Amino acid sequence: MISKEGDGAGVAWRLIKEGHSVDLYIKRPEYSHALKGIVNRVDTFRPHAAEADLVVCDLVGFSQYAPLFKRLGKPVLGCSEIADMLELDRRKCVEVFKKADIIMPVTHYFDSPKSAATLNWAHEQGYVIKPCDNLHVSKTSCCESKEAYKWALSTLPADQELIVQEIVKGVEISTEGWFNGSDWITPFNHTFEEKRLAVGGVGPMTGCMGNVVYPLKEPNKLVRETVMKLEPMLRKISYKGPVDINCIVSEKQAYALEITPRFGYDAIEALMHGTKGSFGSFLFDVATGVAKTMPLFSFDYLIAVRVTCPPYPDQRQDVSTRGSPVLGLDSPGGSVFPCDVMKNGVGYVLAGSDGVVAKVAANGRDIREARRRVYERIADLEILNMQYRTDIGNRVDADLAKLKAWGWL
């Protein structure tokens, strides 16, 4: 597994628990202690990739190594030039949406914050600023006033490319499918994600604070109007892996916001909790193009909650917490996927990288049961200054009711 900041730690943990041998390379030195003593941490990936059965890149941005893996003859997930382009180059993503006849909010492209400042403020609901090149999510700004818009632009580098989209109102939901290079792997799923730090959707933007994954027995209208329209492109490039489109859905229209052609965090942890058998074997089958179905144990609601500690969501490393005990990871109940954790002797302690301690996942026949189970499991954890949202999943029933009444689901 090749990583920039250890995003795929939960996947590595699951594969280790299944008995697979996993070598984990994390590029940034700030993450040198993450999963130490739990998974085999390596200082370079090339010799280990040469011996591996499967190479997994846990995030976009590694496509420059695709020729190497091809020469080695290795099945690979998450190493695609097109995938990098779709997520990192927002302008190209807009072009892909247009070509696939996928509807977007009105979108403006600018080559710098200075040029974006010339935007005619004509949309009364405001605008969303989205920088290119996978800049930290804290730089994505939802601006409902000219003053907020001007200030948000001032925080960006002078040469930063960006898009600006009109804010649209509705239900935020994403739609994901997995592709095997020639066809879809069933089932599709929807995800309801909460990105802001605090209860009620307030506070700074984070990558994710938790989500609910809703597997589908059959593709619905929202699936057909979004990810399924990417099928010709995905088949043309022989794409293998997950692809997700995040949308704002109103009664009349689904507005696509962005494509995520990689594992979604923390949806992948929820999905792993919901799968039976070997998830590692499933990933291998996806990479080799033979997977037809994802081995879910049921069509329950799947929930994942991100458990953190300071300095999160601040990006600055704080090693002062390193060595603090993390208790309860091995308690029975819902799945726990450790991230910024290492093993110290026989116990688990904080690794002191970014404060994303773990993702906790559970399932339920309805959202109430899933929520009860995941928060009961979190209650078993003992972590210094532990923080997490207590309202993950609260909006799901109401949002599902709207989407069903509107005919999308």
pTM for this predicted structure:
0.93
Asked if residues 225 and 104 have their Cβ atoms less than 8 Å apart, the reply is no
Q: What is the pLDDT of residue 195?
A: 93
pLDDT at 88: 86
Q: What is the pLDDT of residues 4-50, one digit of tens each?
A: 999 999 999 999 999 999 999 999 999 999 999 999 999 999 999 99
275 against 315, higher pLDDT: 275
DSSP character string of 29-85: GGGTTTTBTTBEE-S-SHHHHHH-S-EEBSSSS-GGGHHHHHHHT--EES--HHHHH
| CATH number attached to the domain at 171-405 | 3.30.470.20
Query: Where is mean pLDDT largest: 86-90, 134-138, 297-301?
Result: 297-301
304 neighbors 220 (Cβ within 8 angstroms) = no
Q: What is the pLDDT of residues 60-103, one digit of tens each?
A: 999 999 999 999 999 999 999 999 999 888 888 889 999 999 99
Can you give the residue ranges of every domain in the chain?
2-81, 106-166, 171-405
Find residue 173's DSSP bridge partners. Answer: 247
Per-residue pLDDT tens digits for 168-185: 999 999 999 999 999 999
Rounded Cα distance between 227 and 321, Å, is 42
Contact present, 244 and 234 (Cβ < 8 Å): no
> pLDDT band for position 310 (50/70/90)?
very high
pLDDT at 134 over 80: no
Class of domain 106-166: alpha beta
Confidence of residue 129 (pLDDT cuts 50, 70, 90): very high
How far is 321 from 336, CA to CA, in rounded Å? 20
Give me the chain's average pLDDT, please: 94
- What per-residue confidence (pLDDT) applies to 207? 85
Query: Could you read off the pLDDT of 238-263 as tens digits, one per residue?
Result: 999 999 999 999 999 999 999 999 99
C-beta separation of 250 from 172 below 8 A: no
Distance separating alpha carbons of residues 108 and 257, to the nearest angstrom: 13
Q: Where does the pLDDT of residue 135 fall: very low under 50, low under 70, confident under 90, or very high at 90 and above?
A: low
More confident residue, 317 or 208: 208
